Amino acid sequence: MGIKSSIICLHLLSIINFLPIFALKYLGYSKLILLIGGIYSLILFIAVQVIIRGLKKEKYWSWVAGIIILALHLNSLYIIICVIGLIGMFNKETRALYSH
């Protein structure tokens, strides 16, 4: 596992974050709650895409931000995706790629 597995996991997280919005819609939550959740998911999606672009360009800040995003999602239902992503981030070759 390397940086490619981490990028795939970040892509999955950014897309999966939209799923609860659809669940809230079917549960009958108000449009304001759906709007706030949708805006949050969209901001997170854009941020993760910027992080992925930085990872592809081998930017140190994106490596740190990717670790933070994956670590913040560890206490969710997506724990397996996060663990795989973090293993890829802390891989020996990946750490060497992003070291100062």
pLDDT, position 42: 92
How many C-alpha atoms does 2 have within 13 Å on its Cβ side? 9
pLDDT, position 23: 82
**Tens of pLDDT, residues 58-74:** 999 999 999 999 999 88
Q: What is the model's pTM?
A: 0.84
Average pLDDT, the chain: 90
What does the pLDDT average to over 48-53?
95
pLDDT, position 100: 66
